[in-house]
């Protein structure tokens, strides 16, 4: 199996639209309230590309054996690097492997001191996150939506 990290602009719009409209994916993304169409996709890709231009990092497209599996990585959120991982359900088993690659880059190449994750309260299965070393830190609001912030500190 070959896993590649590519720019989101290198993935077909239809593949991103299909992922973002998948009911199992949408259930985990409370900020995704409207149907995700081609116009929303263009704005999404442009915004994620701007993150790279402005901050030097942002999310990638994950391509597995030349098939778009999802997107994620680190993105700036309130002055911190926040980890996002959005995978097509058929690739949920790859989450830990992708996570390890992203965290490796965060703490070595990027020299970050910590990484955060924002989970909606509806995500009650957090034992895996805690086993990875994340600790619950606070509640934050993005618009009207509440999230629980978890933090992983760079190992000493």
Q: What is the pLDDT of residues 56-73, one digit of tens each?
A: 999 999 999 999 999 999
Task: Say whether 27 sits in a helix, a strand or coil.
Answer: coil
pLDDT at position 138, please?
A: 94
pLDDT class of 29 with cuts at 50, 70, 90: confident
Q: Tokens representing 87?
A: 């995978």
What's the whole-number mean pLDDT along residues 79-95? Answer: 94
pTM of the model as a whole: 0.91
Q: What is the pLDDT of residues 97-116, one digit of tens each?
A: 999 999 999 999 999 999 99
CA 48, CA 137: separation in Å to the nearest integer? 26
Give phi and psi for 72, each to the nearest 5.
160, -175
Task: Say whether 14 sits in a helix, a strand or coil.
Answer: helix
Q: What is the pLDDT of residues 139-153, one digit of tens each?
A: 999 888 899 999 999
User: What residues are paired with 153 via a beta bridge?
Assistant: 114
């Amino acid at each position: 199996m070959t896993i590649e990290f590519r720019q989101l602009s290198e993935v077909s719009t239809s593949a991103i639209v299909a992922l973002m409209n998948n009911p199992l994916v949408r259930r985990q993304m409370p900020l995704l309230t409207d149907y995700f169409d081609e116009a929303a996709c263009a704005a999404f890709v442009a915004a994620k590309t701007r993150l790279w231009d402005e901050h030097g990092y942002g999310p990638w497209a994950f391509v597995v054996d030349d098939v778009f599996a999802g997107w994620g990585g680190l993105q700036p959120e309130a002055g911190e690097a926040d980890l996002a991982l959005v995978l097509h359900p058929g690739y949920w088993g790859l989450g830990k492997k992708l996570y390890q690659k992203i965290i490796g880059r965060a703490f070595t190449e990027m020299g970050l001191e910590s990484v955060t994750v924002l989970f909606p309260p509806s995500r009650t299965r957090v034992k895996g996150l805690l086993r990875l070393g994340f600790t619950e830190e606070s509640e934050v609001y993005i618009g009207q939506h509440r999230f629980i912030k978890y933090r992983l500190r760079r190992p000493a």
